[in-house]
Each structure stands twice: as C-alpha cells, then as structure tokens.
Amino acid sequence: MPALRYSAVSFDCPDPAVLGRFYGDALGLPVLYSDDNFVLIGHQGAPALGFNRVADHRPPSWPDQSGAKQAHLDFAVENLDTAQAHLLELGAALPEFQPSPDRWRVLIDPAGHPFCISTLA
C-alpha cells in the first residue's frame, strides 16, 4: 500500500487572497504559496489550508434546510466572546441561528462557509 500523508484541506471560494488572509490572520498562519487562483497557508511540513478560486462559487447556507451537509472547520478557543469579537473584526459574519451559543458558535467566513468556535475541545 502506498504511503499517504494528510497535507491540506482546500476550500472553493470566489477570491483565494481574501479567504487566505482571513484564515491566516485568524490562526496566525503564514502564506506558503499564492497565485491568482490558489492560496495555501500553514507551516512547512504540517497540514495546511488551501483556498481555490471557483468563478461560480455558491456558498452553503446556514442553517441548511435542504439536508445537504458540507464539511466545516471547528476551532477550539479559550473564550467564546473574545474569539467571536476577533473573528468578526477580521471579516466573519454571525448568523442569527445559533444551535447552542453557550457551548459553541457558528460564524460565516468571508466566502460564505460556516465554521464553528467552541470551548469543548
């Protein structure tokens, strides 16, 4: 069996520079590679996050009523309110629907992808 190594998760988006900057600033990760259609952030040799330009990108909806589930990122934080305020300053949006705001929060990144922050991890 060939050796496989987890290297990155990549997200489709309309503007990889915007989304790469958002997550890079939020997580303190440097840009490893960048061109007009793709940005990769992370640390050399470690799993990274990639952002791929898709001209007709359609973000998922939150909450998704269609039953179609897409993947999302979860981030562990020490304080929900502090982390939420920081991420909103960076360009995230706070949707009205929150399933359990005392335990975790759903935010929307600049390209429309939902992601979660939680003190549970």
Residues 6+ apart with CB under 8 A from 78: 119
Residue 91 lies in a domain: yes
Contact 87, 107 (CB under 8 A): yes
Same domain, 77 and 119: yes
Q: Which two structure tokens, joined as six digits, stand for 71?
A: 């993947």
Same domain, 43 and 77: no
Same domain, 11 and 44: yes
Residue 40 lies in a domain: yes
Same domain, 50 and 77: no
What is the residue whose two structure tokens read 């470690």? 46
Q: Tens digit of pLDDT for each residue in 20-30? A: 999 999 999 99
Q: Which two structure tokens, joined as six digits, stand for 13?
A: 């988006």
Same domain, 77 and 43: no
CATH of the domain at 120: 3.10.180.10
Q: Tens digit of pLDDT for each residue in 74-96? A: 898 999 999 999 999 999 999 99
Same domain, 25 and 52: yes
Segments forming the whole domain that contains residue 25: 7-56
Same domain, 76 and 121: yes
Same domain, 41 and 85: no
Q: Tens digit of pLDDT for each residue in 32-89? A: 999 999 999 999 989 999 999 999 888 888 887 665 556 789 898 999 999 999 999 9
Residue 48 lies in a domain: yes
Model pTM score: 0.82
Residue 34 lies in a domain: yes
Give long-range contacts, CB 8 A cutoff, 24+ apart: 56-64: 57/12, 57/13, 57/14, 57/111, 57/112, 59/108, 59/111, 59/112, 59/113, 60/112, 60/113, 60/114, 62/95, 62/97, 62/106, 62/108, 62/114, 63/95, 63/97, 63/99
Q: Into how many domains does the chain fold?
A: 2
Same domain, 85 and 119: yes
